[in-house]
Every structure is written in structure tokens, then in C-alpha cells.
Homo-oligomer: A and B are copies of this chain.
């Protein structure tokens, strides 16, 4: 055999992009524990623990709260293909990549999609959703993105949930980037279904997508006229494996579930409120540090996410070159822009384990260096000093 591929030696990175985020060593250790089978009594007990922990972070009592065996986009697709049938009317907020993606997935499921558009970086207004609901003949589902990873916009949920219900529709929320980093209150907000990812504020490697379905959503799934188009993501079949019956469906990703369990334990140990406060604090310090070096956040003021900071690239600065410098010279990953924001923003993630004072100071210092290398008149230490002042001001 002529294939020769060497030892495995990944470089050390500080992950401050849009995810994956830094992973706690406890999670890596849990993940590398020896495997048991997917029907082993130990694993079955562990599934219950994962469900309990997920309910805590989703702030819900929904029994049907499980990790889908795929990444966040698989969770998105699972929610949409289970809740929508061909011909169903679907109202979706589109103000970034992930609202756009929901619309695309729903169209492939045969839904009649009514896009409610807002400029990228801004939130979708409840009155826009209301207008779309009034125009629809029988809206089945309304969906919005709580934390738009592509823009940094933080979408308020409760009013939209109320409007959906007033028009007889369910509400679905994309919590991929918010879960574990900002309040997600499934029960209090009366959200019917939601999905998330593991590699953002839960600080677990990517590979699973936690979802939660409330009673109304499960009713809709149970009374479908057609089979769910995806066998792999069919919630009724998944419920038989994750429920009392333990009927084999697919082989659960054992080690990913090990990792998720440990990551969720760490979240619960810190406490959700303390965790949200930490994310806010580091976000504010970052924002404070960006100002004196001429950088500002791209998302709508008053609706900026704490864990995902889209930073406008100043005119005359090469977005990709700065990002490349950060990676090569500092070992720091930040993200670039997507879609209409390509080349126009950097995306700095302060998610989960990545949301810490040392990350903020490191990325600001690295940005100072890179901007000076780009010929910008940036005073050494200016950003770092401003962030330190922000921390002290608390």
C-alpha cells in the first residue's frame, strides 16, 4: 500500500471564530473514555442524564429534549421536516445566513415559504412577522434565528412567539449560537421547538444538535398526514430510541454524547446566570477595546450578541490578510464574513470556554499588531488598555 500519512499533530489555536469554540480539557477527557454500546444500560442511563441537562440549559420541562446525531444544520432540518408537510405555510425571518438556510430547507420539504426580510445585521421586527401572518391563509409555523451567527444580531423572541400563537401557528427558534451563552427560555417564552449546536456556547466539539419539542409541536408531528421525508431525522422514530422503549434506530455517536454530557455538567456547575453574565462582561470589554483602534460592531445597536461580535472592516484594510496574520502570527482563529458581508466584517466569537478575559486581551493585542502592519495609525496597547479599563469599571 503506497499511502503514507504521518502522525497526527494539530497546531495549537485560540478559537475565537464563529465556532467551534475552545473545549474544556474535562470534555476532551470524557470524550476519550472507552466506548460502551448504544444499548448498554450505562449508555441508556447516560442518555437520561443528557436529556435532564439539556432541559436545564433550554429552561424547559419538555420530555422530548434530545441531541440529534448531526451538527446544528441537521437539527435545523430535523425541526423543519418534522413540523412541516408539503403545502404548509411557513413564515421565516431572514436577516442572515441561517434564516436564509431555514427558508431553503423548508422549500425542499415542500413548504410554502413566506420570507420576512430585514437587512443583515438588523433584527426582524414583530410587526413584520405580524403582517406576514395576516397575509398567510393558514400559517403553520413561524421561525426566527435567536442569535444570527453571520451578523451578530440578537433577535427578541417572546413577542414573536405570542404573534405566532395568536395566528394559530407554532414557533421554532434557532438557538445554535445562543444556547448556554445568553438566556434561552423555551417554556417561559412559549417556544414550541428549538434546535442548537454543541460547538458554540456549550463548548463541546461539533457533531450533535440538541433539539427540544413541546407538546403542541409533538401533536403536530403525531398527526401528520405524510411520513417525514427523512428517515434519519424522523422524530417519532428517534423518540422510540430516546424514550422508554429503547428501540434501535441508528447507532448513537457514543463519544460525542460523552462529550456533551461533560460539557453540560460544566455549564450547570458554573450556573446559567453566572455564565450569561460572563459572556456579557467579556463582550463589553471587547467592544470597549475595539473603539480606540477605530473598529466598531456591525450589528444593530441594542441588539448585539454577547458571544458573536461582527466587526466592521475599515476601508482600505484587507479583511483576509488581517485574519491570516492573526492565525499565523498569533495562533488565533477569528471568522470572516459570509454572503453580503464577505470581506466586510470579521466575526469574533467569545463563546463558552472562549469567553474569557485572556481571549479578549489576546485578540485585541493581535488586532493592534495586524492593523499596524496594515499601515493603520494604531497606538500600541490602546485597545488592550481600553478593555482593561472596561473590566475595572464594573
Q: How far is the CB of A1 from chain B (nearest CB, A)?
A: 6
A-B contacts besides A31-B32, A70-B70, 7 pairs, CB < 8 Å: A3-B268, A10-B33, A13-B34, A20-B254, A41-B327, A71-B251, A71-B253
Listed in ascending order, the chain A residues whose CB lies under 8 Å from chain B are 1, 3, 5, 8, 10-13, 15, 17, 19-20, 22-23, 28-38, 40-42, 46, 49, 52-53, 56, 69-74, 77, 101, 104-105, 107-109, 197, 199, 205-207, 227-232, 248-256, 258-259, 261-262, 265, 268, 271-272, 327, 333, 335, 338
Provide a sorted-by-A list of 10 A–B residue pairs whose CB atoms are within 8 angstroms: A8-B30, A10-B33, A10-B35, A28-B33, A31-B255, A70-B74, A108-B227, A108-B230, A197-B251, A205-B256
Question: Is A23 within 8 A of B1, CB to CB?
Answer: no
Q: How far is the CB of A212 from chain B (nearest CB, A)?
A: 15
Given the contacts A32-B31, A108-B231, A1 and B271 also touching, CB distance less than 8 Å = yes
Question: Is B197 within 8 A of A56, CB to CB?
Answer: no
Question: Is B19 within 8 A of A251, CB to CB?
Answer: yes
- Measured between alpha carbons, how far is A56 from B4 in the docked complex, in Å? 11
Q: Which residues of B contact A258 (CB under 8 A)?
A: 8, 10
Closest to A16 in B: B37
- Measured between alpha carbons, how far is A259 from B231 in the docked complex, in Å? 26
- Measured between alpha carbons, how far is A3 from B51 in the docked complex, in Å? 11
Q: How far is the CB of A67 from chain B (nearest CB, A)?
A: 12
Taking the full assembly, how many copies of this chain does it contain?
2
Most chain B CB neighbours (cut-off 10 Å) among A37, A49, A52, A227: A37
Given the contacts A1-B272, A108-B230, A36 and B13 also touching, CB distance less than 8 Å = yes
Q: Which residues of B contact A205 (CB under 8 A)?
A: 35, 253-256
- Measured between alpha carbons, how far is A49 from B382 in the docked complex, in Å? 43
One of B12, B20, B109, B262 near A37 (C-beta < 8 A): B20
One of B20, B199, B228, B249 near A108 (C-beta < 8 A): B228
Question: Is B35 within 8 A of A23, CB to CB?
Answer: yes
Question: Is A256 within 8 A of B207, CB to CB?
Answer: yes
Question: Is A5 within 8 A of B37, CB to CB?
Answer: no
Most chain B CB neighbours (cut-off 10 Å) among A5, A13, A338: A5
Q: How far is the CB of A266 from chain B (nearest CB, A)?
A: 11
- Measured between alpha carbons, how far is A28 from B35 in the docked complex, in Å? 10
Q: Which residues of B contact A33 (CB under 8 A)?
A: 8, 10, 28
Q: Which residues of B contact A227 (CB under 8 A)?
A: 107-108
Q: Which residues of B contact A197 (CB under 8 A)?
A: 251
Given the contacts A205-B254, A207-B253, A36 and B53 also touching, CB distance less than 8 Å = no
Most chain B CB neighbours (cut-off 10 Å) among A107, A207, A228, A335: A207
Given the contacts A37-B333, A253-B207, A70 and B32 also touching, CB distance less than 8 Å = no
Question: Is A251 within 8 A of B206, CB to CB?
Answer: yes
- Measured between alpha carbons, how far is A37 from B259 in the docked complex, in Å? 18
